[in-house]
Structure 1
Amino acid sequence: MRKQLLFPFLFLVYFFLCTKTFAQIAPAPPLRKDNITSILEKGGQFTSFIRLLKATQVADQINNQLSTPDPNDGLTIFAPSDNAFSGLKPGTLNSLSDQEKLQLVQFHILPTLISTSQFQTVSNPLRTQAGDVKGGKFPLNVTALGNQVNITTGVVNATVANTVFSDRRIAVYQVDQVLLPLQIFGPTPAPAPAPAKPEKDVPVSTPKASTGDTDSSGAMRLKFHPNAMVSFGFAFLGLIFWIL
């Protein structure tokens, strides 16, 4: 009887141990982690924007923020398509410094999560990661008319084409143009006029000396030399004797 009960008991112990061992060996399912690069890659038309995000290391910053258990305000990203980048003038991106490229990418990111319905009630200008808008350097204005959302930067007017991705942490919207900030792509102020050069001094010609002097009224006054007076006197006396 005891032998008959011992066999099922041993089988249950063996089954319990094997089940626990297999449970420890089997890998746990990976936790879901949002990644801005993978989100854009699934869209299939954001190669240029992904390249900029990686070059400026903004992609790492976004991914670190998304990896936190409870992000504060979330993020909103306006992602220009490859067609939007192809519409730029040739050499536009290459002419920018590293700091300007960083500001360009940050200008496409809002430090708050905004849904499509909230675009109708937001206060302009929107604050981006590029900097404060109080000085008018990075203004970003959004207007919503029905389902159409328009974005104005002071340089270009863009339209939100569609929603690429959205959850409680991040919203990614496709835009049909690269959002060019006024601080970088605005009109260059005209240079200040150069100070006028002083005119060259014109030499003043000295009038030729005259044979006579002029008085204060400007009239000519003859000047007689004493020797000339003596000669004139002798000549006058000779003339008188000759007449007599």
Structure 2
Amino acid sequence: MASSKLLLFPLTTLLLLLATPRALAATPVAPGPTPAPLNLTGILAKGGQYTTLLRLLDETQVSQQLISQLNSSFNGLTLFAPTDNAFSSLKAGTLNSLTNQEQVQLVLYHVLPRYYSLTTFQTSSNPISTQASGDSGVYTVNVTSTSNQVNVSTGVNDAPINNVLYSEFPLAVYSVDSVLLPAEIFGVKPPAPAPTASTVPSKHKKTPVSSTAAAPAEEADSSTNAARGRSAGWAFVLGFGFMSIVSLF
């Protein structure tokens, strides 16, 4: 009798062990919290000194593009954020002188199409592509990094990174005190080509006389010659008659 109880105990234990994983699998697991989407404009608004940049992001609709990229890209984004003082330092009327397309290019020039931490800049190779492009191709910047400073150069001006607003993959936002000016828009324009010799009228070149203008002069010469011929004929007749009269005497 005791032996039968001993056999039943391991069997019961085995059945419980086999049933436990199924019970655990059938138990629903509560979903974890869904991460909130990154709010780029909220990060800039919290900084308190990026009003002009926020306005440009909205007017050019670049903010919508960046938000979409942040939620779908595996590479992330990096934004250089000029302060309001940086925009105020521009020559008066600079932004208003740009076309709508150039304003979009200017904003996108401050965006790198991947996430860069400050340490990543130390090993990255230049030039670095931005999200701006034009007829000449993709606009680029050069980023140099030392132990205590990261500097962004456009070929027109330089802008050191002076503050980290946000840096957690997939987004990095760095504050800069200068607006990054792409050479494709703000660089020195090549001089206009000099006119060739064929397009410049020479001061010493004689103007050819047309055949129609010469016709009246030719007609006048022929009339003069005819008149001279008639005068010579009359002079001969008068001279011959005078000689005949003299011979009679």
Name the TM-score, length of structure 1 as normaliser: 0.66
Matching residue of 2:176: 175
CA shift digits 1:169-213 (9 cap, x unpaired): 1000011110011111111221113632146469xxxxxxxxxxx
Matching residue of 1:213: none
Shift of 1:66: 2.4
Q: Structure 1 201/137 Cα, relative in aligned 2: closer, same or farther at 3 Å?
A: farther
Shift of 1:30: 7.7
Q: Structure 1 147/132 Cα, relative in aligned 2: closer, same or farther at 3 Å?
A: farther
Aligned residue among 112, 121, 124 for 1:122: 124
Matching residue of 1:45: 49
Matching residue of 2:139: 138
Q: Structure 1 67/136 Cα, relative in aligned 2: closer, same or farther at 3 Å?
A: closer
Structure 1: give runs of 5+ residues left out of the alignment. 1-27, 203-244
C-alpha separation in 2, matches of 1:56 and 1:156? 23
C-alpha separation in 2, matches of 1:168 and 1:102? 25
Shift of 1:32: 1.8
Structure 1 contact 139–182 (Cα < 8 Å) conserved: no
Matching residue of 1:101: 103
Q: Structure 1 121/31 Cα, relative in aligned 2: closer, same or farther at 3 Å?
A: closer
Do structure 1's residue 73 and structure 2's residue 80 form an aligned pair? no
Shift of 1:166: 1.2
Name the TM-score, length of structure 2 as normaliser: 0.65
Structure 2 contact 132–138 (Cα < 8 Å) conserved: no
Shift of 1:132: 7.8
Measured on the aligned residues, the alpha-carbon RMSD in Å equals 3.8
Shift of 1:29: 7.8
Written as runs of structure 1 = structure 2, the 5 A alignment for 1:24-43 is 31-43=35-47
Shift of 1:64: 1.9
Shift of 1:93: 0.4
C-alpha separation in 1, matches of 2:54 and 2:142? 24
Written as runs of structure 1 = structure 2, the 5 A alignment for 1:190-205 is 190-192=191-193, 193=195, 195-198=199-202, 200=207
Structure 2: give runs of 5+ residues left out of the alignment. 1-31, 210-249
Structure 1 contact 109–129 (Cα < 8 Å) conserved: yes
Shift of 1:150: 1.0
